[in-house]
Amino acid sequence: MTLTLRPYRPADYDVVRRWIDDPVITGGFPTAAPLHGDDEVQAIVHDEHRPNHDRFAVVVDGRVVGEAQVRHSPPVFPLRVFGLGITIFDPADRGNGFGREAQRALTDQLFREREARRVQAETDPQNIAERRALEAIGFTAEGVLRRYFEGEGDLGDLVMYAMTRDEWEEVSSGWNSTG
């Protein structure tokens, strides 16, 4: 498997549109609304008017399978602290390690190319697959942020994972073999 992260290209818009307009994902709501046009998709994927958010296409063996997101809005994110998020679009593509390898590639890129001091990844405490993936890469759970999203009981909680620059320097020496 060869996994890369790259900026979106117009040729990717059909894939993106398929998932943001998917009635299974959006609960059927947009069926009466016009589907996203190229201009709207372009504005979304290039984060026009959003200087503190970046998106990349996750490409596996030449095929766009998902999206990698980087958040760095100050002052919630201090200088050189980044938050990452990965979405794998098609449920059929999950469970293949694409998410884990995309997390690893993005983490590496943030420390290597953007001088990150700390990379955060926040996830649903019940999302065991993502937690295992983050722990396998070398992230550490730091705590649970309660009611981060609206929800009943402990729904909406978020577990905060992070890797510091020192930790990256230690673990990333073993990453070259996986690309």
Q: What residue ranges bind another protein (CB under 8 A)?
A: 47, 50, 52-53, 71, 73-81, 117-118, 120, 140, 142-150, 160, 162, 164-166
Task: Choose between 63 and 147: whose C-beta lies nearer to another protein.
Answer: 147
Task: Choose between 153 and 174: whose C-beta lies nearer to another protein.
Answer: 153
Closest CA to 159 of 175, 135, 176: 135
Nearest distance from C-beta of residue 60 to another protein, angstroms: 26
DSSP letter at 35 equals P
Task: Choose between 4 and 42: whose C-beta lies nearer to another protein.
Answer: 42
Task: Choose between 54 and 93: whose C-beta lies nearer to another protein.
Answer: 54
Positions of E strands within the chain: 3-6, 53-60, 63-71, 81-88, 118-123, 140-145, 158-164
Task: Choose between 59 and 160: whose C-beta lies nearer to another protein.
Answer: 160
Nearest distance from C-beta of residue 62 to another protein, angstroms: 29
Nearest distance from C-beta of residue 165 to another protein, angstroms: 7
Mapping DSSP to helix (H, G, I), strand (E, B) and coil, where does residue 81 land? strand
Nearest distance from C-beta of residue 139 to another protein, angstroms: 11
Nearest distance from C-beta of residue 11 to another protein, angstroms: 25
Which residues, 6 or more positions from 27, have their beta carbon under 8 angstroms from its beta carbon? none
> How far, CA to CA in Å, does 30 sit from each of 16, 66, 69, 89?
15, 21, 24, 18
d(CA 45, CA 68): 10
